[in-house]
Amino acid sequence: MSVRRERDQLARELDAARRRIADLEAALLRRGRDTLTAVLRIEAFREQLVEELRRTRRRGLQGALVVLQIDRLADIHRDHGFAAGDAVLGALVEALRAGTRTEDLIGRTGDDRFALMLREAGEAATRACVARLLGELQGLAIESVGGISVSAGVALFGPEDDDPVALFAIAGGALADAQAAGGGRAVIAADDGEDLGVSAALQRRDAVEALAIALLERDRYTGEHSESVVEMAVAVARSLGLSPTQVEDVRAAALLHDIGKVGIPDAILNKPGPLTPDERTVMAEHPVIGERILQAIGGFAQVAGIVRHEHESWDGSGYPDGLAGAAIPIGSRIILACDAYHAMTSDRPYRARMSHADAFMELRRCAGRQFDPQVTAALVARLYHERAGRALHAV
Ligand SMILES: [Fe+2]
Ligand SMILES: [Fe+2]
């Protein structure tokens, strides 16, 4: 075969492989599954949890919700690269599958967070299962990384529990305790009174998760959109060299940037067409409403500030304060660009999605006007890298 024919053939195969991957991803997404690990995404997981709580109540059963987070995934990314991070996630999911029963449920609730629902499991069985899982993960030998240190928070449930948001908050509080104690361990939330567990837990980072679920319930598109923006925003924040604390603030703000939409009337929020000027004015209040919601929770001052300014433009033409350039918090600038990219490449009821190539061009075109040029450059580099990596993966 001539060199040229060989090359043409290769190009055709590459193209076919890319199409297969795209189809596979679309099929996974349609079934409510995460594209990287093929476990349930948070909204599908949550639906099943609600269903299980109903069954638990009807039949007087018990069960457990376990939230797990990989300790220091950011360090793995930094020290070993994103491919190693993906290998860690894959190995984790495999271990979770192997270590649970088929009737249990695995979901991915964040880029380094997973949830398990153990059906008809009491405290002793749950304890044994989680301890075995963490031990197995620690003993893994993933090339260059070694074992995985994972922290877990457990909320047990029984017939009287009917609130999935509260359960996530309780498990999240226990997870925070496990992490504060150095990670690599599990904490089971103590069952000592109804509101104590919830209100104490809500004071901490898991409030983020609870709010994100509330948003998902209110407006599915905005909830899913926010989750997609998180990964991009965190990657851009890292590549711009932000401190770990700033990166965590960006992560929370990205997940909650549109939380203020819970305060926007349904008729406007779900309108299947462009908004009138009056409706747009109401919609434009969502960053300020979001700031108020976050200010009401302790420890979220920075995040609230980022959310307030998520629609400010680099050239000063944005809202609510018309800030320009470096006066806009860096987190807000990052979220604006990632948000725009995700919105452009998503289908909406009133317009079709833009191709990734066109969205790249649009980002570049608006750099220096709507978007911070440095942020745009980092985002485009990241997206380019990611898409090239995925295509290579496919071959
Ligand atoms: Fe927004
Ligand atoms: Fe948004």
Tokens of 152: 């877990």
Three-state SS for 146? Answer: strand
Q: What is the 3-state secondary structure (H, E, C) of 68-108?
A: EEECCHHHHHHHHCHHHHHHHHHHHHHHHHHHCCCCCEEEE
163 Cα–ligand 2 center, Å: 27
129 Cα–ligand 1 center, Å: 41
38-94 pLDDT, tens per residue?
A: 678 888 888 889 999 999 999 888 999 999 999 888 888 888 888 888 888 888 888
Tokens of 182: 């150095």
* Displacement of CA 310 from its chain's centroid (Å): 18
335 Cα–ligand 1 center, Å: 9
Contact 379, 341 (CB under 8 A): yes
112 Cα–ligand 1 center, Å: 24
112-168 pLDDT, tens per residue?
A: 899 999 999 888 888 888 888 888 888 888 878 888 888 999 999 998 888 888 888
Amino acid at 183: G
Which ligand is located closest to the Cα atom of residue 219?
2
164 Cα–ligand 1 center, Å: 26
Helices 206-218/164-180 angle, 10° precision: 150
Q: For the chain, what are the domain ranges? A: 31-202, 213-394
Tokens of 345: 């490449």
Q: Which CATH superfamily is domain 31-202 in?
A: Reverse transcriptase/Diguanylate cyclase domain (3.30.70.270)
Three-state SS for 54? Answer: helix
35 Cα–ligand 1 center, Å: 25
Low-confidence residues in the chain, pLDDT < 50: 192-204, 393-395
Which ligand is located closest to the Cα atom of residue 230?
2
In this prediction, residue 336 carries a pLDDT of: 98
93 Cα–ligand 2 center, Å: 29
Amino acid at 351: R
198 Cα–ligand 2 center, Å: 28
287 Cα–ligand 1 center, Å: 6
382 Cα–ligand 1 center, Å: 22
- For domain 213-394, give the CATH number: 1.10.3210.10
Helices 301-308/286-295 angle, 10° precision: 180
pTM to 2 decimals?
0.51
Bridge partner list, 63? 119, 157
In this prediction, residue 278 carries a pLDDT of: 93
